Amino acid sequence: MTQRRFKTAYFVIPAVVFMIAVYALPLAGVALQSVTDADGGSWSLAGYRDIFSSTLFYKVAWSTFTISLLSTTVSLSLAFPLAYFLSKQRPKVRAVLMIFVLVPFWTSVLVKAFAFTILLGQSGIINDALAFFGLGPLPLLFNKAGVIVGMSHFLIPFMVFPILTSLMAQPPELRRAASIMGAGRLRIFFRITLPLCLPGIMTGTLLVLILSLGFFVVPALLGGRQDMMLSNLVDFYTRETLNWQAASTLAVILFSFAMIVAYTLARVPGGSSLLGGQDR
């Protein structure tokens, strides 16, 4: 039996070899590039020195954080009521309503970005409608507002899934028992439902935070020049200034941020299943 177990383990080898060759080595290359000078020769911390003394970096890092936190907050506050409502529906109704969450989830981010440029633009649908009522055009596109609308739209499903899962996992008897013992609706919600789904909320929030730190398409298409995020700055250094060292340094910094959040996520009960943990 142990013999067979051991042979079963061999099945992971091809995937591991592939991922070392096409994923681990490139990542290691980025880390290496960030500490070697542009010619690829000698060791140098010039990349980090340049980045940490560039005002552009601080501006972009700051807008990455504010945009990420804002869109995470917006998606949480929109996703929670939706998840709560869905959890209270009969399974048939819920299945139908879930289509409206799943289809946007599987729709290309480019389709959404394109749709939002039509919706939010200077002569877009929303501003046309406002003009009809004699209201001035609102600046909704190529600024922070556009980025946050676009990102929240993308992120809401990622927030709905874990929250809905943890709401559905709560035994309804708990709420019934509390109600029999005289607890009111609000009390039940705040003392039972909400605390029990905190792991789901935490998982959703951290997952969405990781995703939003790495956004590229939405800020590039719906944001203005000031709304560049770290991913876009990596692209800028790679493509415009051909400065691989600066680009790699930034990538290492972005990677570290994402891993800090991912590590926190792994500490959340049930959160590690997203990272390949087996505890579900």
Partner 1 sequence: MSADPQANRLLKGAAFAVLAFLVLPSLIVVPISFGDTHEMVFPPPSLSLDLYRQYFGDPQWLAATWLSVRVAIWTTLISLLLGIPAAYGLVRGRFPGKRLVAMFLLSPIMVPSVVIALGLYIYFVRIGLSHGELRLVLGLTVVTMPFVIVTATAGLQNVDPNLEKAATVMGAGPFTVLFRVTLPLLKPAIVGGSLFAFLMSFDEVVIAWFITRAGYETLPIKMFSSIQWEISPVLAAVSSLLMLFSVVVCVLVVVTRRNEPQQ
Task: Assess 19 for contact with partner 1 (CB under 8 A).
Answer: yes
Q: Could you give the string, one character per residue 40-79, with x where binding to partner 1 holds by CB under 8 A and - elsewhere?
A: --------------------------------------xx
Beta bridge partners of 43: 36
Task: Assess 136 for contact with partner 1 (CB under 8 A).
Answer: no
Residue whose entry in the numeric block shows the structure tokens 């990622």: 158
Query: Is 163 in contact with 79 (CB distance < 8 Å)?
Result: yes
Q: How far apart are CA 267 and CA 262, in angstroms?
A: 9
Q: Which residue stretches of the chain are H helix?
A: 2-9, 13-19, 25-34, 46-52, 55-87, 91-105, 109-120, 125-132, 144-168, 172-180, 185-188, 194-196, 198-213, 217-222, 230-239, 244-267
Query: Is 148 in contact with 70 (CB distance < 8 Å)?
Result: yes
User: Which residue from 107, 122, 226, 241 is in contact with partner 1, where contact means CB under 8 A?
Assistant: 107
Task: Assess 262 for contact with partner 1 (CB under 8 A).
Answer: yes
In one-letter notation, the amino acid at residue 204 is G
Task: Assess 168 for contact with partner 1 (CB under 8 A).
Answer: no
Task: Assess 214 for contact with partner 1 (CB under 8 A).
Answer: yes
Nearer to partner 1, 93 or 198 (CB): 93
Q: How far apart are CA 22 and CA 20, in angstroms?
A: 6
Task: Assess 275 for contact with partner 1 (CB under 8 A).
Answer: yes
Nearer to partner 1, 113 or 147 (CB): 113
Task: Assess 18 for contact with partner 1 (CB under 8 A).
Answer: yes
User: Which residue from 104, 137, 139, 270 is in contact with partner 1, where contact means CB under 8 A?
Assistant: 104
Task: Assess 246 for contact with partner 1 (CB under 8 A).
Answer: no
Nearer to partner 1, 54 or 107 (CB): 107
Question: Residues touching partner 1: how many (CB under 8 A)?
Answer: 86
Task: Assess 274 for contact with partner 1 (CB under 8 A).
Answer: yes
